[in-house]
Amino acid sequence: MGFSPAVCALLSLSPLLVLGVPPIRTQPEQVHLSYPGVPGSMLVTWTTFNKTESVVEYGLLGGRLFEMSTKGEWTLFVDSGVEKRKMFIHRVTLTGLKPAATYVYHCGSDEGWSDALTFTALNDSSRFSPRFALYGDLGNENPQSLARLQKETQLGMYDVILHIGDFAYDMHEDNARIGDEFMRQIQSIAAYVPYMTCPGNHEATYNFSNYRNRFSMPGQTESLWYSWNLGPVHMVSLSTEVYFYLEFGLDLLFKQYEWLRQDLEEANRPENRAVRPWIITMGHRPMYCSDDDQDDCTKFDSYVRPGRPVGRGRGLSLYP
C-alpha cells in the first residue's frame, strides 16, 4: 500500500516529534492584536525564539491575498528567571485600514509564517456602538471562560477584548514558559480582535517585566497606563498596582496621577465631550467594594480610592 507525499513527510518527521525536538525557533507564535489608538490602524505583536524580520502581509477579505506588506521591528526580551530565557517580540503597525473592513493577514518572515488570520478594522465613527468583553484573572490551568470567548469571538460578538489584569498565574513562572503557554492559548481570541490590557498584582514579579514586554498598548508607558477613543467612548486604562508595589519607586504613582489629570482635562473639553460623552476607566483593583474583610478594598476604604478626586468633576462615567 502506498502513501501520499504528505503522509510520507509526516512519517519522516515522526521520530523528531517522539524525541521531543523543540519547535522551529523562527516560527511565529503568540500572535495578538491591539489598537494603537489611531483610526484606521492595528498593531500586530508576536514572538519568535530566534531573531527574524518582522513582517505582516495582508489584504482585504475576498480580494487579492496578502497584496500589502508592512515591516516593523523586534525587541529582545530576556526573562529575569534563573535560565535567562530569550525571546524576540515583534511589532508591526498597519495603517490606512478601511473602517469596518475585514482583512486576512499573516505575520512572520521567510523563515516562518503564522497561519492565515483575520481581523476587522475598527469603525471610527462617533456613532459606532462598540461591543466589549471585559474580564480579569484568567489562568492557564483552569480557564473556564476561554471556550465561550473563543466561540463568541468567532461569531463576531465582540469588537474589543478588555482584560483587566492577572494573566496566566503567573507569566514569569517556570522561567516565563507559563507566559508562553498563556499567550498561545489566547491567540485563538487575540489574533482576531484587539486585546487591550492593564496590569494586575500577578504581573508584579521582576517589576512587571513579562507584562511590559509581551503586550503593546498605546502610548509610551510600556502598557502600564494609556487612553484611546472608540465610537462615543474615551477609554482610560490604569495601573492600580502603582499604589501597592512601592518598592519599584514612587515615581510611577505620581506620573500616572499627573497623566490622568491631564488626560481627563483633555477628554472633557466641550468639543471632545460632545463627540465622546462616555469616559470609562479600567483597572485591576476595584475602587469600591461591599465586603468588610481585611482585603485591600472594603466598604469602608480602598487603597486606590485616593485617586478618586482626580476623576471627580471631570465627568467620569464608569469604573468597572
**What is the arithmetic mean of pLDDT over 50-67?**
98
Task: Report residue 287's pLDDT band, with 50, 70 and 90 as the boundaries.
Answer: confident
Q: What is the pLDDT of residues 266-284, one digit of tens each?
A: 999 999 999 999 999 999 9
Residue 103 predicted with pLDDT over 70: yes
> How far is CA 294 from its chain centroid?
32
Task: Give the span between the Cα atoms of 308 and 162, in whole angstroms.
Answer: 22
% of the chain surpassing 70 pLDDT = 83
HSE (side-chain half, CA atoms, 13 Å) at 132: 16
Q: What is the pLDDT of residues 71-95, one digit of tens each?
A: 999 999 999 999 999 999 999 999 9
Task: Report residue 8's pLDDT band, with 50, 70 and 90 as the boundaries.
Answer: very low
Q: Which set of grid coordinates corresponds to residue 38? A: 489611531
Instruction: Check residues 144 and 289 and name the one with the higher pLDDT.
Output: 144
- Fold assignment, 29-316: Purple Acid Phosphatase; chain A, domain 2 (3.60.21)
Q: What is the pLDDT of residues 179-196, one digit of tens each?
A: 999 999 999 999 999 999
pTM reported for the whole predicted model: 0.89
Task: Report residue 143's pLDDT band, with 50, 70 and 90 as the boundaries.
Answer: confident
HSE (side-chain half, CA atoms, 13 Å) at 86: 8
Mean of per-residue pLDDT scores for the chain: 89
Whole-number pLDDT of residue 262: 97
Beta-carbon contacts of residue 176 (< 8 Å; ≥ 6 apart) = 79, 81, 85, 87, 210
Task: Report residue 114's pLDDT band, with 50, 70 and 90 as the boundaries.
Answer: very high
Q: Which set of grid coordinates corresponds to residue 59? A: 489584504
Q: What is the pLDDT of residues 196-228, one digit of tens each?
A: 999 999 999 999 999 999 999 999 999 999 999
